[in-house]
Amino acid sequence: MKKSLTIILDPGHGMSNRTSGLFDPGAVSGNATEADIAMVWTNDLRAILLAAGHVVIRTRVDHKDPAPVGKRATIARRHNGQIMISFHCNAAAGTAQGTETFYRGESHRELAEKLNSAVCSALWTRNRGAKTESSSQHATLAIMAFQPCFLIELGFIDHADDLRKMTNHTLRKAACNAIAREIESFAGR
Ligand SMILES: [Zn+2]
């Protein structure tokens, strides 16, 4: 019998992320915002997971839904999630490209690598690998207070090729399908 999982999806940034009442778009490039891209990826992955019979909880459901960064791990815990996936984009003034995934704890390195490769294979982005949270822009990531949590930096929003790939419907669907398969095999379903 198939086992139904509770999966927490975290679209990065958004309303009240850092400051109450203030919308945090994350990285911005032209008309593209990280908060938008993260939400679209979340909803596509959510649709795939729901169709497979899983329970999906989002830390924010739209751009009006307040989601302070410090409270997101609490949401994951409250709903007894088995795993959390957080979507973000990088930015580096057009000087870098590729996909990287942050994780906490050696026991989660393998899944972080698999998730990252799954996205790279579907999007054809450069594989920057799986990295511990200490190699992110912060010493620790607030979201990682919930475990296991994997923060996927899908690509660089200010790199034209990465942006095109992240916002391509077909490529995104393929990547989300691959992510869903990795989540299920991790959970032994
Ligand atoms: Zn971000």
Give me the pLDDT at residue 184, please: 95
Give me the pLDDT at residue 129, please: 97
> Which one, of 25, 28, 87, 83, lies nearest residue 56 by Cα?
83
Residue 81 has pLDDT above 60, yes or no: yes
Give me the pLDDT at residue 83, please: 97
Give me the pLDDT at residue 140, please: 85
Q: Which residues lie near ion ligand 1 (Cβ < 5 Å)? A: 12, 26, 88
Give me the pLDDT at residue 173, please: 98
In this prediction, residues 96-116 reach a mean pLDDT of 97
Q: pTM for the full model? A: 0.96
Q: How far apart are CA 58 and CA 38, in angstroms?
A: 11
Residue 47 has pLDDT above 70, yes or no: yes
Average of per-residue pLDDT values in the chain: 96
In this prediction, residues 118-142 reach a mean pLDDT of 92
Q: Is the peptide bond between 68 and the residue preceding it cis, with omega within 30 degrees of 0?
A: no
Q: How far apart are CA 166 and CA 101, in angstroms?
A: 15
| Sequence ranges of the domains in the chain | 6-186
Give me the pLDDT at residue 160, please: 97
In this prediction, residues 174-183 reach a mean pLDDT of 98
Beta-sheet pairing, 149-156 with 99-103: antiparallel
Q: How far apart are CA 41 and CA 148, in angstroms?
A: 19
CATH class of 6-186: alpha beta
In this prediction, residues 20-48 reach a mean pLDDT of 98
Q: How many Å lie between the centroid of ligand 1 and the Cα of residue 40?
A: 14
Give me the pLDDT at residue 189, please: 66
How many percent of the chain have pLDDT more than 90? 92
Q: How far apart are CA 143 and CA 18, in angstroms?
A: 13
In this prediction, residues 39-49 reach a mean pLDDT of 98
Q: How many Å lie between the centroid of ligand 1 and the Cα of residue 186?
A: 25
Q: How many Å lie between the centroid of ligand 1 and the Cα of residue 79?
A: 23
Q: How many Å lie between the centroid of ligand 1 and the Cα of residue 88?
A: 4
Beta-sheet pairing, 32-33 with 99-103: unpaired
Confidence grade of residue 3 (pLDDT, cut at 50, 70, 90): confident
In this prediction, residues 70-93 reach a mean pLDDT of 97
